[in-house]
């Protein structure tokens, strides 16, 4: 297209992932300035909700487990409200208290945890046990048992993508995308009007692309059993764990979902993985477009979205 602005790529690292902001701008200096504001938002969210920081919202809640309440601001309340929606919509499978299972599982070595170790951790899992108040002026939360933890890793990165994309849009960006570790949100098509082409990784052959998805707007997120795993006695054990049993899920190799928000796409792809053999039915009921690969390597997809049961994000001020 004559006169179309050039496209610039700004790469950075956040949330332990390789990241990229790609956008069209008049020059590189302008592109970096606009990207900087979006990157600052990603950094803000990482600092505020990281489980590795004692001064983060998550760190303070975990440190107070079994003891006192922790007050919540509006943004944190919106995130915990969404976590509650996910817990209910997944029949308890998407549970932000299940991160304690990392005490039993180490996916860097092919070693199964002892059954007694898992059994000692399972009583610490259960979003339904939390005490929390969502109405002003007492917006607060408390973990009732010492040793319990919350972890927003299940949708925190996706939330950061949505916020970064919103920052770009507020600056007038109309052509570009945000990519945090493979979770993507398009802020309009390429300057010539064509879609961005996004490759979907093979869940069994590293470096191989099995499909390409066109994205002009909206979001794409993928969950799979190949991101962190080990094999032991001929069986694959992946990092996506069933909070009821503490065991890795089986049923689907990977799930990619298209949705208006990355938060929505990512939570639906994760829940589909958690549901195992019932994951495909969940995806069909959601009405969202998706591409899934089952354990036999068969591809299941829906090209276009239709009406369905999409898990809502109630407070859109924070998600977009």
Identify whether the C-beta of residue 118 lies closer than 8 Å to the C-beta of residue 191. Answer: no
Q: Which residues contact 91 (CB under 8 A, 6 or more apart)?
A: none
* For helices 279-286 and 262-274, angle between their N-to-C axes, nearest 10 degrees: 150
Q: Any known ligand binding at 234?
A: no
Examine residue 137 and say whether the peptide bond preceding it is cis (omega within 30 degrees of 0). Answer: yes
Rounded to whole angstroms, the Cα distance separating 223 from 93 reads 15
**How many CA atoms within 13 Å lie on the side-chain side of 291?**
19
How many CB atoms are closer than 10 A to CB 60? 14
CA dihedral for 103, 245, 287, 212, sign (positive or negative): positive
Q: Any known ligand binding at 172?
A: no
Identify whether the C-beta of residue 158 lies closer than 8 Å to the C-beta of residue 152. Answer: no
Both tokens of 192, joined, read 């010539």
* For helices 74-89 and 262-274, angle between their N-to-C axes, nearest 10 degrees: 30
**In the block, which residue shows the tokens 């859109």?**
316
> Which residues carry a binding-site annotation?
154, 270
> Which residues carry a binding-site annotation for Mg(2+)?
154, 270
């Amino acid at each position: 297209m004559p006169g179309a602005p050039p496209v610039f790529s700004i790469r950075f690292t956040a949330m332990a992932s390789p990241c990229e902001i790609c956008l069209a701008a008049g020059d590189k200096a302008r592109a970096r300035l606009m990207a900087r504001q979006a990157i600052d938002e990603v950094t803000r969210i990482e600092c505020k909700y990281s489980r590795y920081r004692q001064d983060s919202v998550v760190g303070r809640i975990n440190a107070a487990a079994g003891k006192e309440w922790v007050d919540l601001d509006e943004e944190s309340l919106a995130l915990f409200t969404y976590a509650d929606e996910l817990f209910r919509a997944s029949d308890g499978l998407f549970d932000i208290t299940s991160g304690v299972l990392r005490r039993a599982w180490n996916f860097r070595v092919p070693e199964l945890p002892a059954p007694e170790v898992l059994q000692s951790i399972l009583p610490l899992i259960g979003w339904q046990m939390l005490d929390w108040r969502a109405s002003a002026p007492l917006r607060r939360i408390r973990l009732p048992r010492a040793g319990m933890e919350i972890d927003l890793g299940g949708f925190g990165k996706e939330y950061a993508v949505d916020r970064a994309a919103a920052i770009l849009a507020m600056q007038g960006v109309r052509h570009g995308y945000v990519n945090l570790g493979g979770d993507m949100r398009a802020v309009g098509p390429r300057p010539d009007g064509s879609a961005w082409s996004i490759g979907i990784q093979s869940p069994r052959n590293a470096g191989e692309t099995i499909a390409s998805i066109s994205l002009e707007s909206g979001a794409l997120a993928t969950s799979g059993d190949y991101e962190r795993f080990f094999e032991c006695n001929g069986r694959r054990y992946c990092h996506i764990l069933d909070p009821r049993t503490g065991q890795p899920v089986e049923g689907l190799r990977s799930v990619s979902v298209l949705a208006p928000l990355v938060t929505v796409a990512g939570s639906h792809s994760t829940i589909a993985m958690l549901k195992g053999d019932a994951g495909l039915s969940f995806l069909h009921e959601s009405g969202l477009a998706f591409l899934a690969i089952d354990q036999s390597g068969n591809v299941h997809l829906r090209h276009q979205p239709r009406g369905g049961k999409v898990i809502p994000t109630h407070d859109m001020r924070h998600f977009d």
